[in-house]
Amino acid sequence: MYSLVVGLLRPFFLACLFLVVATVMLWRKRRSRRRLRWLTAAVVVLLLICTPAVSFLALGTLEWRAPPPRLALPDRADVIVVLSGAVRVYDEQGKIVEPCSDTMFRCLHAAKVYRRVGPCPVLAAGGKLDPDEPGPTLARAMRDLLVQLGVDPADIILEEESTSTYENALFSQRLLAERGLKRIVLVTDALHMHRASLCFRHLGLEVTPAPCNYRVTEFEWVLRSFLPNPGAAVGIQEALHEWLGIVWYRLKGRI
């Protein structure tokens, strides 16, 4: 009950409620019906894209393509490829660096796979989106975290040039080809796995997905799943970003 009351009193929900009430009042005053139809459609769309149930379905269109968590750990691997997320740099010199949650989840899962399959190469992929920004490449920040998680530094390979998912695959493939490696265990978010695995397979690599950071494993049939909140809109935005990326990569011949 407490969580429900808190959800109902959140500013975003109250703002949505105000929009609904205002729209109903305008209809009752019988103003321009054509304009009201457009306004009503906009309000309905806003409510839908901010509803957790709709966000659950949007994210699920991608996450459900990856194996469920209980199947996400392979039994053996020639090489583990873990893709970068983001990092935070806290000082102007770029010496104080902290992985963001997406990078941390991926490195944690990569270390788990590493411990399960035994010692093998681990390729950390990720350059710098802005070369002028301070701090190390994403791959170097990931290496430091992987070492803390128990991965032997001698087993870590750095790919420090890429700035996109396709470049992750392209530059990783080159490094792996030099070592005669083609069968990879790919680690990234479940949401990102479909596009990422398509890129690596397009370049001739044999991919075993090892996704992590699932967000839509089980739907909760509770009232708050149908009450609008901004977090749901973020989920739909992320799913839309991935689908647009898939379409764009197909148009460019990258997958």
Is residue 2's pLDDT more than 80?
A: no
Residues 190 and 92 in one domain: yes
Residues 20 and 84 in one domain: no
Confirm whether 214 is domain-assigned: no
Question: DSSP readout, 156-218?
Answer: EEEE----SHHHHHHHHHHHHHHTT--EEEEE-BHHHHHHHHHHHHHTT-EEEE--B--S-SS
Residues 28 and 98 in one domain: no
pLDDT (0 to 100) of residue 132: 72
Residues 120 and 48 in one domain: no
247 vs 102: CA distance, rounded Å = 23
* Coil/strand/helix, residue 118: coil
Q: pLDDT of 140-167, one tens digit each?
A: 999 999 999 999 999 999 999 999 999 9
209 vs 186: CA distance, rounded Å = 5
Confirm whether 220 is domain-assigned: no
Confirm whether 232 is domain-assigned: yes
CATH of the domain at 98: 3.40.50.620
Number of domains in the chain: 2
Q: How many CA atoms lie within 13 A of 138 on its CB side?
A: 27
Range of the domain at 241: 2-64+228-251
Residues 184 and 90 in one domain: yes
Q: pLDDT of 45-63, one tens digit each?
A: 788 888 899 999 999 999 9
